[in-house]
Structure 1
């Protein structure tokens, strides 16, 4: 069975009935309407007794009809109050005028109420119900003899009641197994949804925080160069428009993904590496803000879209941090080196030492880079360099050696 989701709605959780065996269509309809089953049970328990009372016409037949009616009424609440219903049904069945001397009242209604208690309540309640179904007939026998309406000889060994007990316990165990399985599946669905929300958060951080930082830097550069270098200001404004157009398109893509099902989300996030600009274009964007970026790639695989996506986002985050915090760097070096089974991404700047600048972010970028590296089975380190500056170093395994 599959759980389908509609646009704008979360998929409904699994229920225990989802793991129940398939039945013939009419039986399946009956199972989905428990009150129909209750009516059938009442008819099965009362109709034979009424027919017997009409045909045999025993003494006190009127009492037999009254007791049969009491059994039918009590059975309506057998699901909500099984032990109480068992006591009433067994007592009424034991007092019925249809019961003959030497015959134990092992009627169908007794079997059903014992089964109901065993299938709906814990084992202790089921054993109590079995004890009541055996003990109540002894009390009824004493009452019948005292009021002089006939003798009753109940027995302690009731194979039919034992069968009802074991069948009810088996049904309850099977139901608990389905409920446990449904809970496990729902837990995994919730965990997957939480994981997807984390991935979307990382994507939104990359698209919004980094691009907005670049746009702010471009706008500041255009404002500073407007009087002395209008051509530079014009180029910065053009670049600002390009960045804004790009971030708007990426945000629309992610918001469209949020309105789609989980399969669309996986597909869109997986293919995002193919849709991203090149690293050289990313470096040009930051160079337009005045950041002296140099880029060198050696042995980088071009067919691993997931690795390209992670590399792009890590470089983007590192350059954004350099743009925010580096103090007059002479060079911001991006080095991407591929080996036989790993790719190393290093971004360093030689910003001059000085008083720490006021933080412009929340530290989510460094955490996001570390989480991306960990999710792909890699490592990430970031920290200040001796003599000034900052370095981030990330090592990612290739797909063939990445843990599944």
Structure 2
């Protein structure tokens, strides 16, 4: 039997369930759940297979694996916003016993510190965990595999250090901080460190026969911040809504947007996958998705969110391997095909007459640019022919504008009646206006 709950149309729900059913059957998954979130609410849920003799529900627990890292990262960012740390702080400032203490907090969050992927222990995902002090004593200079900042190198050990960083600065275990500061405000009450009923059992599926092998489950100890947590589709849907922008006061929208910014890519020129600050990133079919994948013995899970479309998608399964890489993007494509989002209605807005007079054509040397007025006195400046250095700006109290993105992100725009001063670049109404400040003007043009 399938478990289905839907707020989408019947045709859409049938197509989504069909895709989920194909995945469960062809990939031989003991049980599989998936959900789509739209505008902060679960729009569709589906489950296939069996857990304890019944179809899995939105309240059935599965292991999250590395999705745990994103929850830890949210607490780290909260501490940054409170002034308890700086992202450029060397980790040794807060963890004196840590090896390679020169690595920064930001490098650990983005997996760019070059730290070893796995701890110098037995296979940590399949053996009982060790205490933090024991882990720190085993790590040494040789566990930094790449020059810090040089490249993306995924590190479970880095998040073990971040979990201990949270514990030291908060004065409580990392999980207590995550529970109080992230899980509780988001209503994720079914997310726990160890499984609670009803939960799926983790299995490995035999590659050449339809038989199962139960996988181990234990407390990962010092490595727990890298992948310990269990959760449900209902709780993970709340997290998807958070990543899509419904922050519920856990983080400011600006801080969440900072986490979603690409700090590094892991596939070179293709840039289909990368990493922000505690969030994985992927690009697909015009979407830029943020979230995280998860894998622990017997379990796979993934959550993606598109903040531009306020949509999220997730799956959870109790199998060690074997799912396709396209399940979630296929579900999003089905939603787009059957129930595309309608664009918001255009409505006119009141405009500051002084700013309205500044809009229109300006020139950077001989190159024409267009200045447009945005809501709430914002501005955009972009080449008239498209492409090039386009940026948006927001007003500041001192009468200047701050660049939000593009080449001029963080730079200052100043408006004058006859020119724009953008971080020393002078834009004029006509190319090189001779009356504008040098170097915006020239005395004459030659034939």
Report the TM-score range of the alignment, normalised by the length of the smaller protein.
Answer: under 0.3
Q: Which has the higher contact order (CA 8 A, sep 6+)?
A: 2
Q: Which has the higher helix share?
A: 1
Q: Which has the higher strand share?
A: 2
Structure number with bigger Rg: 1
